[in-house]
Structure formats: structure tokens, C-alpha cells
Chains A and B, each alone.
Chain A
Amino acid sequence: MTHVALFLSFLIFGSTGGEIAITRGMKATGEPGRLRPKEMLQFLGRALCNGWFWAGVPLMALSFYALLLLLSWEPISFVIPASALSYVVGTIGAKYILGEQISAARWAGVVLVCAGVALVALG
């Protein structure tokens, strides 16, 4: 059971950590001027040169492999609802690491989405 808890934490913190790093990278990259092929290629080039983007990739890979291992040990009806906790962890990370302002409405929405994903996965 300890290894399940350990890999579940890898899954949740790996995915949220990776996404937060990529978000920081994208914010530093700046938004594309227009959504046209030339501007999008320039945007992609700038993003791929950002260190935060590349810090996020191995964290997301870690969470992906943790997901595969968890799915080999536990039923999907446990793994996906448990991983829905990443919505709450991600919101806490967004507030304290990215400095985003989380209003009461946004918190309520995140908690409802988290519960909804868990129920959908339980089927």
C-alpha cells in the first residue's frame, strides 16, 4: 500500500509540477502576436528555448510512468478518481507558486470539477 501512495504522489505532484513549470515557461515566452502559422512557429521556437518548459517535460514524464505503474497494480476506478486530486493540488500551486488570484467562485468550480471527474471515473 505504501508504494501505491508513493506513486500516487508522483502522479499528482509530477503532473501538477510539470504543468506549473510549463505555465511559467509559457508566461515568460509571451503570447503570440497573431494565431497565424508564421507567428505560431516563432512562438513555438521561443517556447522550446525556455528552461521552464524543459523542466516541466521530465516531471510530466514521471507522472505518466507513475500512472502506467498504478494502472498495472490498481483498478482504473481507483486510480483516476484519486488522481482527480491534482485539480486541487494544481490550484494551490497556481496560487502559491504562480501567484494567481483564486476567487471563491474559482475554488468552488475546481472542487466541483474534482468531485465530478471522480464520479465519472467511478462510472
Chain B
Amino acid sequence: MATEGRLRVKTLVMVCAMVVCANVGDLMLKRAMLQIGAVQLSETGLAHAFRMTVSSGTLWVGIIFLCGFMLSYMTVLSWADYSYVMPAGAFGYALLTFFAVIFLHEAVSPRRWVGVVLICVGVLLVGQTKPRTTAVAREALA
């Protein structure tokens, strides 16, 4: 029972890390591309965009967060079910809507709020199930 609880807590922590890293990473990429501006599809335009992107600190911060997402995603899949992690990750859509309202003061349509409620209820339902239903290899180098 204690093992089950521990598994649930560490899965929850990793899924939260996944959701936060993915959303912060995406927001940083979006901010970096807004700073760089629209990319011109010409040889000089692409070369200029390449120079701007590799020298953008915001973009690199975004990439670090997306690497954090990939690492937490791989880690949680090493013990938890894919069918548990995948829908739980969709909580990011709900989180982004809350962020848009709280920090950006955006107006959100009723249809979108219904979607957010469905995602939250769906994630809660999945969260009630066992995080792992298959046998898993223990650490190979243990």
C-alpha cells in the first residue's frame, strides 16, 4: 500500500514537471520568435533568422525547458503506464487557459471553459486509476 502511494506521488511529481516544462518551454519559444519577428523565406532572410535564433537567450531558455520536458517524460514512462501519462499531460491545455486569464487577462469563451472542465474531470478520472498495470524492469545497474 505504501509502495502504491509512493508510486502515485512520484508519478504526480514527474507529470507536473512535464506539464510545467512543456508549457514554459513553448511560451519561451513563442516569446523568442516574437522578438525575432516574421521570418522571410529567402536565403538572406533564413540566414538572418538562424543568426537571431542561435543568439537568442530566451530561445535557449525555452530549449532547456523542452529538454527538461523530454527527460521527465522519459523518466515517468520508465515506470508508469503510457495510457496514464498521456491524458494526464493534457492538463497543460487547462493550465495555459488559467495562465492566459490570470497573467494576460485574456477573455476565454464559454466553449473553452467547458473544454477546460472536461480536461480537468478527465485527468482526475485517469488519476484515480493505478499508475502502473504492467510489469516493469528494475534499474538495470542496481
B111 and A123 within 8 A (CB): yes
B77 and A27 within 8 A (CB): yes
A119 — nearest CB in chain B belongs to which residue?
A: B115
Nearest CB of chain A from residue B80's CB, rounded to whole Å? 9
Q: Which of B94, B120, B130, B139 contacts A32 (CB 8 A)?
A: B139
B111 — nearest CB in chain A belongs to which residue?
A: A119
CA distance A44 to B120 in the complex (A): 31
Kindly state the interface size class of chain A when it binds its partner.
Answer: 35 or more
B136 — nearest CB in chain A belongs to which residue?
A: A27
Q: Which of A44, A90, A99, A120 contacts B93 (CB 8 A)?
A: A120
> B interface, by DSSP: helix, strand, loop or mixed?
helix
A29 — nearest CB in chain B belongs to which residue?
A: B78
B124 and A94 within 8 A (CB): no
CA distance A108 to B136 in the complex (A): 25
Stretch of B27-35, B39-47, B52-60, B84-92 lying at the A interface: B84-92
B78 and A110 within 8 A (CB): no
- The chain A residues found within 8 Å of chain B, CB to CB, are 19-20, 22-23, 26-33, 35, 39-40, 42-44, 46-47, 87, 90-91, 93-95, 98-103, 105-106, 108-123
What are 29 inter-chain pairs, A to B, with CB distance below 8 A? A19-B82, A19-B86, A27-B78, A27-B136, A27-B137, A30-B78, A30-B136, A31-B139, A32-B75, A35-B75, A46-B140, A91-B87, A101-B130, A106-B84, A108-B125, A109-B126, A109-B127, A110-B86, A110-B122, A112-B121, A113-B122, A114-B122, A115-B122, A116-B114, A116-B121, A117-B115, A119-B111, A120-B93, A120-B112
